[in-house]
Amino acid sequence: MYERKIPELLDCGLAVALKVIGGKWKAWILDCINRGVARPSAIHREMQEVAPRIINMHLKELEEYGILYKEVYAESPARVEYRFTEVGKSLLPVLATLETWGNTHKEFIHRNIEIYQPGTCRFLPQ
């Protein structure tokens, strides 16, 4: 386990929210589970681009925060499904808000990045 050297500032609600959803692949994982893709192997199949190890780490982190919980069926070999806790469910509309904002403005942002010249004032149409 990695041990932080600089303590985190987590008083602020925004900082907490960003810690929870901020991992590189967490949003995609949450979207999978929201669509019913709940088993680790199924998530791995959907997210070919991402190594299973990483997905497992994110799942564990989300479980640790209480966003997801693990349903472990007493079969052999054990079958596992991840589900949202109530707090996890409350996160979904927040993610939808972010997604909507991003989709609305992504062309604007991409265009700005392309044409950016430090110091130049640019007023692109939104």
Q: Could you write out the DSSP letters of every residue in 49-116?
A: TS-HHHHHHHHHHHHHHTSEEEEEES-SSPEEEEEE-HHHHHHHHHHHHHHHHHHHHHHHHHHHHHH-
**CA-CA distance, 54 to 118, in Å (whole number)?**
36
Least Cβ distance, residue 101 to a copy of itself (angstroms): 5
Of 80-109, binders to a copy of itself (CB under 8 A) are: 85-87, 90-91, 94-95, 97-106, 108-109
Nearest in space to 29 (alpha carbons), one of 88, 103, 101 = 88
Per partner kind, with CB cut-offs from 5 to 8 A, the member of a copy of itself, DNA, none near residue 36 is: none
| Chain residues in the site for DNA (CB under 7 A) | 1-2, 4-6, 23-25, 39-41, 44-45, 50-54, 56-57, 59-60, 70, 72, 76-80, 118
> Which residue type is seen at 41?
S
Per partner kind, with CB cut-offs from 5 to 8 A, the member of a copy of itself, DNA, none near residue 2 is: DNA
**CA-CA distance, 15 to 6, in Å (whole number)?**
15
Largest Cα separation within the chain, whole Å, is: 63
1 is a site residue for a copy of itself (CB under 8 A): no
73/123 with CB nearer DNA: 73
Residues within the interface to a copy of itself (CB under 8 A): 9-10, 12-18, 20-22, 27-28, 49, 60, 63-66, 69-70, 72, 85-87, 90-91, 94-95, 97-106, 108-113, 116, 118-119, 121-124, 126
